[in-house]
């Protein structure tokens, strides 16, 4: 197996992008990534496209071929990857494995979602849950994650304020990110007193409906310096699965798929959780951000709320979490999120993150969750070969 490096990344602005179509977004991201890699399009051997719900949101399937055509990269093989909100993370993993195996040399992993073209996105998003036993019984993702929040509060004494503080941090970081959907800070009172969604959550505990795309180009590590002076090396790329439905889980206060995927990643990379300088975690709801910092091993189970409250996950804290603003503030166009996380960590490790830069970042991690944890993808990236 060959070592693999990232040589180009991009992300469109995330948000309600009424003047851009599904195909406009992914082509914009792809062109920017190619330019970032100082590479011509004819060097790309294959593409993997993360997309969850093109058929439900914009009525478009056969997305791989569509994007190959409109990016001008046809006839290269272009494959859609779907794993709910983890579609982007898995598309990236497929690209990494394709290069590592020697099957291809230069591969683009992209992710895209156009979510604002429907009146109500809830039914489409609910397709990532167990349709028969959850969605058809009226369970939505806010209510499913709300159950997890209540159980964590019950078992560990986690406070409502601690959970809400994860959203405050996201907006604080997002305010420094020109690509973020929400570029403004919010107060703890704003979160606590917002419109109720599913107890204990208000609207400010929930990631938004977003449009956007992101792209990454990977190649053999031995070739990376042909394209960039600052390649970022992939130390591990892992994936794990769990039950889709919450009622089949052993616990509501942890995601086994996160634990398994991250421990495997640490083992492959030869590092420990304490070695990670910066991480982009999947905070589709505030409780999932809290669960992530525990399940990834950054803090002891049940201590995540205290870590947030004590500022240990600020950009200058023990570990910098979601300097991009995370899903809460950067936005969450489902299929693009996992790729955008990789782009953010790449910028951080290059030292190109401007006002949100984490000083001295050398080792980073991304954590991308599908549904309530039925799929998890974890990537570990390094500035050093």
The pLDDT score that the predictor gives to residue 120 is 87
Residues 359 and 43 sit within 8 Å (Cβ to Cβ): no
Show contacts of 183-188: CB within 8 Å, 24+ apart: 183/329, 188/161, 188/164
What is the Cα–Cα distance from 5 to 258, expressed in whole angstroms? 24
For 181-227, the pLDDT digits (tens) are 999 999 999 999 999 999 999 999 999 999 999 999 999 999 999 99
Q: Return the percentage of the chain with pLDDT > 90, whole number.
A: 98
Q: Is the pLDDT of residue 118 over 90?
A: no
The residue with tokens 């990857």 is 81
Q: For residues 323-336, give the mean pLDDT.
A: 98
Helix (H) or strand (E) holding 36: helix 22-36
What is the Cα–Cα distance from 13 to 177, expressed in whole angstroms? 10
What is the Cα–Cα distance from 28 to 86, expressed in whole angstroms? 21
Q: Which residue from 88, 134, 85 is spatially nearest to 285, judged by alpha carbons?
A: 85
For residue 356, the SS3 value is: helix
The pLDDT score that the predictor gives to residue 231 is 98
Q: For residues 69-81, give the mean pLDDT.
A: 96
Q: What is the pTM of this model?
A: 0.98
Spatial CB neighbours of 245, under 8 Å, sequence gap ≥ 6: 129, 130, 133, 134
Domains parsed from the chain with CATH numbers: 4-120+209-226 (3.40.47.10), 122-206+234-382 (3.40.47.10)
Q: For residues 249-254, give the mean pLDDT.
A: 96
Instruction: Please compute Rg for the chain using Cα positions.
Output: 19
Q: Is the pLDDT of residue 57 over 90?
A: yes
Dihedral of alpha carbons 241, 91, 212, 52, sign: negative
What is the Cα–Cα distance from 61 to 70, expressed in whole angstroms? 14
Q: For residues 33-38, give the mean pLDDT.
A: 98
Q: Is the pLDDT of residue 352 over 80?
A: yes
For 354-379, the pLDDT digits (tens) are 999 999 999 999 999 999 999 999 99
Dihedral of alpha carbons 201, 56, 126, 323, sign: negative
The pLDDT score that the predictor gives to residue 238 is 98
What is the Cα–Cα distance from 57 to 115, expressed in whole angstroms? 6
The pLDDT score that the predictor gives to residue 301 is 98
For residue 189, the SS3 value is: helix
Query: Which residues are 383's β-sheet partners?
Result: none
For 333-345, the pLDDT digits (tens) are 999 999 999 999 9
What DSSP assignment string belongs to 42-103?
Answer: GG--EEEEE-S-HHHHTS---HHHHHHHHTT-TTS-EEEE-BTBTHHHHHHHHHHHHHHTTS
Residues 193 and 342 sit within 8 Å (Cβ to Cβ): no
The pLDDT score that the predictor gives to residue 305 is 98
Q: For residues 58-82, give the mean pLDDT.
A: 95
- Reported confidence tier of residue 119, pLDDT bands at 50, 70, 90: confident
The pLDDT score that the predictor gives to residue 376 is 98
Q: For residues 152-156, give the mean pLDDT.
A: 98
C-alpha distances (whole Å) from 43 to each of 5, 31, 106, 220, 287 are 15, 13, 7, 13, 42
What DSSP assignment string belongs to 285-317?
Answer: BHHHHHHHHHHTTSS-TT-HHHHHHTTTTSTTS
The pLDDT score that the predictor gives to residue 322 is 98
Q: For residues 34-61, give the mean pLDDT.
A: 96
Dihedral of alpha carbons 51, 14, 31, 278, sign: negative
What is the Cα–Cα distance from 234 to 217, expressed in whole angstroms? 12
- Reported confidence tier of residue 113, pLDDT bands at 50, 70, 90: very high
For 285-309, the pLDDT digits (tens) are 999 999 999 999 999 999 999 999 9
Q: Which residue from 217, 211, 333, 350 is spatially nearest to 284, judged by alpha carbons?
A: 333
The pLDDT score that the predictor gives to residue 117 is 87
Q: How much is the mean pLDDT over the chain?
A: 97
C-alpha distances (whole Å) from 237 to each of 105, 270, 283, 374, 375 are 17, 13, 20, 17, 14
Q: Is the pLDDT of residue 22 over 90?
A: yes
Dihedral of alpha carbons 219, 222, 225, 227, sign: negative
What is the Cα–Cα distance from 22 to 67, expressed in whole angstroms? 9
The pLDDT score that the predictor gives to residue 372 is 97
Catalytic residue ranges: 85, 332
């Amino acid at each position: 197996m060959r070592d693999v490096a990232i040589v180009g990344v991009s992300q469109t602005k995330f948000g309600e992008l009424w003047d851009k179509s599904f195909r406009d977004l992914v082509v914009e991201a792809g062109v920017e990534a190619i330019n970032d890699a100082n590479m011509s399009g004819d060097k790309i051997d294959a593409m993997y496209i993360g997309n969850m719900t093109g058929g439900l949101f914009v009525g478009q399937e056969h997305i791989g071929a569509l994007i190959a055509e409109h990016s001008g990269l046809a006839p290269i093989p272009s494959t859609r990857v779907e794993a709910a909100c983890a579609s982007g993370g898995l598309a990236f993993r497929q690209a990494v494995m394709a290069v590592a195996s020697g099957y291809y040399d230069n591969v683009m992993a992209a992710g895209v979602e156009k979510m604002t073209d429907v009146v109500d996105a809830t039914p489409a998003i609910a397709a990532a849950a167990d349709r028969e036993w959850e969605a058809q019984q009226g369970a939505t993702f806010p209510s499913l994650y709300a159950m997890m929040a209540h159980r964590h509060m019950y078992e560990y004494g986690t406070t409502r304020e601690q959970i809400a503080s994860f959203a405050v941090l996201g907006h604080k970081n997002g305010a420094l990110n020109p690509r973020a959907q929400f570029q403004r800070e919010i107060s703890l009172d704003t979160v606590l007193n917002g419109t109720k969604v599913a107890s204990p959550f208000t609207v400010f505990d929930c990631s938004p409906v977003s449009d956007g795309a992101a792209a990454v180009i990977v190649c053999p590590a031995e070739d990376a310096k042909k394209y960039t002076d600052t390649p970022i090396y992939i130390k591990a790329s892992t994936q794990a699965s769990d039950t889709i439905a919450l009622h089949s889980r052993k616990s509501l206060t942890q995601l086994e798929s996160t634990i398994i995927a991250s421990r495997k990643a640490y083992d492959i990379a030869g590092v420990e959780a304490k070695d990670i300088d910066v991480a982009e975690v999947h905070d589709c709801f505030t409780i999932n951000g809290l669960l992530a910092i525990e399940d990834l091993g950054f803090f002891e189970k049940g201590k995540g709320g205290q870590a947030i409250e004590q500022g240990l996950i600020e950009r200058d804290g023990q570990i910098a979490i979601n300097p991009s603003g995370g899903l809460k503030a950067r936005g969450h166009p489902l299929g693009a999120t996992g790729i955008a996380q990789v782009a953010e960590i790449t910028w951080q490790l290059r030292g190109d993150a401007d006002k949100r830069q984490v000083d001295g970042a050398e080792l980073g991690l991304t954590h991308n969750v599908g549904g309530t944890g039925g799929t998890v993808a974890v990537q570990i990236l390094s500035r050093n070969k």
